[in-house]
Structure 1
Amino acid sequence: MTEVKHMKWWGWGDDGIAFEHRDKPAFAPFVRKAIGLDVTAPAATARPFDALDVPESHLDPALRDELAGIVGAEHVHTDTMSRVVHTFGKSIRDLLRVRSGTLERTPDVVVYPGDEDEVQRLVDAAVAANAVVIPFGGGTNISGSLEPATDEERGVVSLDLGRLNQVLDVDEDSGLARIQAGAQGPDLERQLGEHGWTLGHFPDSFAHSTLGGWVATRSSGMQSDKYGDIADIVRGFRLVRPGGVVTIRPIPSTSTGPSVREMVVGSEGRLGVITEATVHVHRIPEVREIFGYLFPSWEAGLAAMRDIAESDASPSVTRVSDARETAFSFATRTASKKKITSLGSQALMALLRRRGWDLDQVCLSFIGYEGSASHVKYEKKLVKRIVGKHGGIGLGRGPGELYDQKKFDTPYIRDFLLDRGAAADVSETAAPWSKLRQLYEHTVAAAHSAYDDLGVQGWIMCHLSHSYHSGACLYFTFAFVHGEEPLKQYDHVKSAIQQAFIDAGGTLSHHHAVGVEHAPWLAQDISPEGVALMRGLFESADPRSNFNPDKIISPS
């Protein structure tokens, strides 16, 4: 049996870890007010795995024998659990389908190669047999980038890179590290950290996602303001294709025609299998701090983030939540065991009232600083001046430390709500600074209009999560209590939000990729001619559609 660890088949994260609301006294009242759900009621009984209706594997015995001859029989799996775990990612659509008990199509086999040579031989064998190859990292994807097409009649091979999990080399003079594609976030950071290095890439999925998955989906991390998105971080890679390996060397800059590196970054497995990447790494900073701030309004928070982006400051994190998400954050705080903490919070709220703040419009912000002590001191001074200019106040390290501790826990809340009949999911976009306010308002209005269509009480909240020279990412979370047709209801709300992004000048996704979930909006995003150009690339590079077909571009 493989030693590669996977998340639970029915939800996010590790078995035995779940969101707990009973130590958060404000959470239940908040959810009842937001979407009309009583979270104190018993959760629905989970469907046992044995009750799932899973199609049989239709793997050709000859192909199975060939795969086993390459990696060993112990690394070739056709059991039901392995195939279910590798069928979907972790979007709300994925979880609703797998929990419903019916899976129309699963991979026919899951294979775990141990090195690049085995990947090459597996790819060659699968393509020779005209099978479908779907690369698999941590399974965290939420845009449908992993699922086989329901009408796929060929054999489907899920190629799990989990055994390729090592930091191979660090070029200390250049700040470059060669890392195998199957390395999950905690593992690669631990290996780098042992030698004083960090990649600095911390997406929400960090605890379970892989380097190869980040590259394949153009991932962003919480500290991308400093370290860049994965497209900035990855300098080279090795991509296995039928008969050979595409090798992109980690050159700082080059003028070699259209960028093959850029073609592969974000390609979601459609061009081949990434086996390793060479990435920028940095020395672990002397100081790393995240400070909390409060702004009197969403408009003030957005303006402050824009001014920080234009300033000489270069924080690692610039994040501000709207009033709705701020209320949610306050509602998820645990009950304080220190009376002084409670009293301090009450005193702050009283002070803000005296200043004339509308406490229902307060917006919470987190800004991160990294570097030498003198550099961090300088940056905090610059940011303090900008925050003050926009009427904000500093809260110190305490809220930032709490944010740092629970930043990867939010997906567990989604599962908690789903257990109780509520659908909660996320959609994110990016747009120029000049369009952010309009985009925000248009999206919120579109979501509420969709809720009205369904006759449900819904919630939508937002934060700005990544700042750039010309604009920023807005990250929306939405939730509602679903009825007997949850997928139909979800589609209506999700589609309204996605269309609002496009109509207001945003992109269909900032860092969650295209997959099949966002493909319907691609032509509106990059133009029909842009889609035609991309389609030509895929059809030329993979004429029989053996590599993860139908992702990014919908079938013609």
Structure 2
Amino acid sequence: MDIPNLRWWGWGTLDETYPLEGRLRFWPTLQAWLELPDELTERPPIPLEEIDLHPSRLDDPVLTSLCRLLGEEVVRTDRRTRVEHACGKAYRDLVRVRAGVIPNPPDAVVYPADEGQIAALLAWAADRDIAIIPFGGGSTVLGAVEPAPGDRPTITLDMARLDRLVSLDPTARTARIQAGATGPEVEAQLNDRGFTLGHFPQSFEFSTLGGWIATRGAGQTSTGYGKIEDMTQAVRLVTPSGLIETRDVPAAATGPSLLHILVGSEGAYGVITEATMRIRPRPEVQDYRGFLFHTLEEGIAALRTLMQGGPHPTIARLSDADETAGFAMMAHEHHGLRALVDRGVEQYLARKGYSLVKGSCFLLLGYDGRRKEVKKRWKQAAAVCQDHGGLALGRAAGESWRRERFAHPYLRDTLLGVGVMVDTLETATSWSNLTRLYEEMTSAIRAAIQATGGGPGYVMTHISHIYEWGASLYATFLGRQVPEQEIAQWWAVKQAATEAILTAGGALSHHHGIGRDHIPWLGQVAGPVGVAVLRALKQTFDPTGIMNPGVLI
């Protein structure tokens, strides 16, 4: 990732933000929810030049050798580049970076041009016991790109130059794409040829194809298009032991799937350089609408009916009452005629027994495809929602969400700047266990926020992806930061939430991955034999242990 105006201390670029102008209820409501002081003190990030960054541990002969191997122009050791590649975008990462605490920066960052240079780099690094960290967009929220502590030198391998669509087979509907392509680069190249991948994670603007595959990622429309492992037909992986290329076929029965061993490997086995992806024709229409349900249970029943009886949606995001109230808090205040219309809508909802701020649950539901087919599906889906107590809000609600779908991470930077702890986590379970998991997870988070001095806290949760057999839960939690204890406070909440999730039968992660943060629980979900298998694979692919040490296993 080589963007000149990148926020090294936060999310995205310096020319973008989450605008709060006109959202007059935002700060008063947040202050009431979190019991924040009336006067909020802004704490800007420390200037880049004031960060105490240890010098590169690569001495001149090693750097000279590296430059000779790859070319001097693609080897960087400057302050900004090392800081930008020192960690991901987790809450813990940003708290430390804003304070100028970067204990483990990479000693150099390199930008190889092709697979041959990557293979040469891994061989060179193995000979010198230098760790290599593959880096796509750096949007990980689980510590998956941070160098390991210790004295071992580390080089971050930025994939930004491998960003091309290599080939496209319109008959088979597959495309070979280099792993360093960002979301916009993937879609632009496919759209030009009439296709889409359909993978739109929250990090879409900055994350890469290789990163999605390496973490088993999901996107906002994965209910319709599938998670990344459903889209990936073949991969090429350069490892210290050599190149692995899985067979480019739609299905095979050749023993355990090597492809699915490599998908989700988080850079611990090697570097994903290219993948053959299953693509779809660009949809003629994307019709996204909103509904309100009296209760979360009504909304869950509607979603389960859609997935088990049809029509399957492209996108389905059901917010609990607290997240629905959060959306209302962020709405713009209007004046004059628009204000009268807003009050009329509120009164109409109240007469129907709904409220955006007192208990109702918002559902975003959408269908992509050909106009005639989408119209047919919507007729059926609207009937299902209404049968379960849903009130149609129309397309305006869907379009409002689409306009801001990638902007919300910018708001986190604003909140961090005034002393608010804010982070996310996710899980998945069966339909029959969903309500129990939701209740135990959210209760544990609230209790942990209070126990750590974060005030009453606020937890917003939505069902983000649905399947015939179950669904995922995605929670955002907020609380007051405890000065000088921000990371310890966050980790206590994270631990409590994770323990509650696993005790209640949820997945350790649905789409964020393992990274460093989830390693303490990997043995609990994989078992001792499973962990031994992962370690044996690591030893086979990476005998000297240079690939992303400390991540995944």
Q: Fold-level match, TM-score > 0.5?
A: yes
**Which residue of structure 1 aligns with residue 343 of structure 2?**
346
**Which residue of structure 2 aligns with residue 367 of structure 1?**
365
Secondary structure, aligned partner of 1:463: strand
Would you say 1:527 and 2:527 are equivalent positions?
Answer: yes
Q: What letter is aligned with 1:34?
A: W
Which is further off, 65-74 or 315-324? 65-74
**Which residue of structure 1 aligns with residue 374 of structure 2?**
376
- 5+ long unaligned stretches in structure 1: none
Please say if residues 225 and 316 of structure 1, whose CA atoms lie closer than 8 Å, have aligned partners that are also in contact.
Answer: yes
Which is further off, 138-147 or 325-334? 325-334
**Which residue of structure 1 aligns with residue 30 of structure 2?**
31
Please say if residues 63 and 125 of structure 1, whose CA atoms lie closer than 8 Å, have aligned partners that are also in contact.
Answer: no
**Which residue of structure 2 aligns with residue 540 of structure 1?**
540
Return the alpha-carbon distance in structure 2 between the equivalents of residues 343 and 209 of structure 1: 42
Structure 1 residues 22-63: Cα deviation after superposition (integer angstroms, max 9, x where no partner): 321111122112212358735223311111111110014333
Cα drift, residue 344 of structure 1: 3.8
Residues 204-219 of structure 1 aligned to structure 2 (within 5 Å): 204-219=202-217
Return the alpha-carbon distance in structure 2 between the equivalents of residues 476 and 6 of structure 1: 30
Would you say 1:91 and 2:90 are equivalent positions?
Answer: yes
Secondary structure, aligned partner of 1:508: coil
**Which residue of structure 2 aligns with residue 513 of structure 1?**
513
Q: What letter is aligned with 1:537?
A: L
**Which residue of structure 2 aligns with residue 489 of structure 1?**
489
Task: Tell me the matched-pair count.
Answer: 550
Q: What letter is aligned with 1:349?
A: E
Residues 74-85 of structure 1 aligned to structure 2 (within 5 Å): 74-85=73-84
Cα drift, residue 197 of structure 1: 1.0
Return the alpha-carbon distance in structure 2 between the equivalents of residues 265 and 89 of structure 1: 20
Cα drift, residue 478 of structure 1: 0.4
Please say if residues 291 and 395 of structure 1, whose CA atoms lie closer than 8 Å, have aligned partners that are also in contact.
Answer: yes
Compared CA separation, residues 347 and 411, structure 1 to 2 (3 A) = same
Return the alpha-carbon distance in structure 1 between the equivalents of residues 365 and 37 of structure 2: 34
Compared CA separation, residues 6 and 183, structure 1 to 2 (3 A) = farther
**Which residue of structure 2 aligns with residue 420 of structure 1?**
418
Cα drift, residue 343 of structure 1: 3.6
Please say if residues 28 and 39 of structure 1, whose CA atoms lie closer than 8 Å, have aligned partners that are also in contact.
Answer: no
Compared CA separation, residues 358 and 163, structure 1 to 2 (3 A) = closer
Residues 101-500 of structure 1 aligned to structure 2 (within 5 Å): 101-151=100-150, 153-242=151-240, 244-336=242-334, 339-340=337-338, 342-357=339-354, 360-457=358-455, 458-484=457-483, 485-500=485-500
Q: What letter is aligned with 2:13?
A: D
Return the alpha-carbon distance in structure 2 between the equivalents of residues 328 and 124 of structure 1: 51
Cα drift, residue 358 of structure 1: 5.8
Please say if residues 4 and 162 of structure 1, whose CA atoms lie closer than 8 Å, have aligned partners that are also in contact.
Answer: no
Structure 1 residues 70-95: Cα deviation after superposition (integer angstroms, max 9, x where no partner): 32101100112111111100000001
Cα drift, residue 337 of structure 1: 6.4
Return the alpha-carbon distance in structure 1 between the equivalents of residues 342 and 197 of structure 2: 36
Please report the TM-score for the alignment, with normalisation by the length of structure 1: 0.96
Cα drift, residue 244 of structure 1: 2.9
Q: What letter is aligned with 2:194?
A: G
Return the alpha-carbon distance in structure 2 between the equivalents of residues 260 and 369 of structure 1: 33
Cα drift, residue 462 of structure 1: 0.1
Q: CA RMSD in A?
A: 1.7
Structure 1 residues 269-302: Cα deviation after superposition (integer angstroms, max 9, x where no partner): 0111011111011111111111111111111111
Structure 1 residues 160-201: Cα deviation after superposition (integer angstroms, max 9, x where no partner): 000111111111111101111110001111111111111100
Return the alpha-carbon distance in structure 1 between the equivalents of residues 425 and 336 of structure 2: 37
Please say if residues 369 and 376 of structure 1, whose CA atoms lie closer than 8 Å, have aligned partners that are also in contact.
Answer: yes
Cα drift, residue 351 of structure 1: 2.6
Q: What letter is aligned with 2:438?
A: Y
Cα drift, residue 236 of structure 1: 0.7
Secondary structure, aligned partner of 2:539: helix
Compared CA separation, residues 141 and 3, structure 1 to 2 (3 A) = closer
- 5+ long unaligned stretches in structure 2: none
Structure 1 residues 105-150: Cα deviation after superposition (integer angstroms, max 9, x where no partner): 1111100001111111111111121211100000100001011111
Please report the TM-score for the alignment, with normalisation by the length of structure 2: 0.96
Return the alpha-carbon distance in structure 2 between the equivalents of residues 323 and 178 of structure 1: 43
Return the alpha-carbon distance in structure 1 between the equivalents of residues 291 and 184 of structure 2: 28
Secondary structure, aligned partner of 1:361: coil
Structure 1 residues 495-551: Cα deviation after superposition (integer angstroms, max 9, x where no partner): 111111101110111111100111111122222322222122212322221100111
Secondary structure, aligned partner of 2:378: helix
Residues 11-22 of structure 1 aligned to structure 2 (within 5 Å): 11-22=10-21
Compared CA separation, residues 423 and 548, structure 1 to 2 (3 A) = same
Return the alpha-carbon distance in structure 2 between the equivalents of residues 24 and 137 of structure 1: 34
Q: What letter is aligned with 2:28?
A: P
Q: What letter is aligned with 1:407?
A: R
Q: What letter is aligned with 1:519?
A: I
Please say if residues 304 and 390 of structure 1, whose CA atoms lie closer than 8 Å, have aligned partners that are also in contact.
Answer: yes
Structure 1 residues 459-514: Cα deviation after superposition (integer angstroms, max 9, x where no partner): 11100010011111100000111112111111111111111110111011111110
Which is further off, 92-101 or 450-459? 450-459
Return the alpha-carbon distance in structure 2 between the equivalents of residues 212 and 81 of structure 1: 24
Return the alpha-carbon distance in structure 2 between the equivalents of residues 378 and 454 of structure 1: 51
Residues 35-50 of structure 1 aligned to structure 2 (within 5 Å): 35-37=34-36, 41-50=40-49
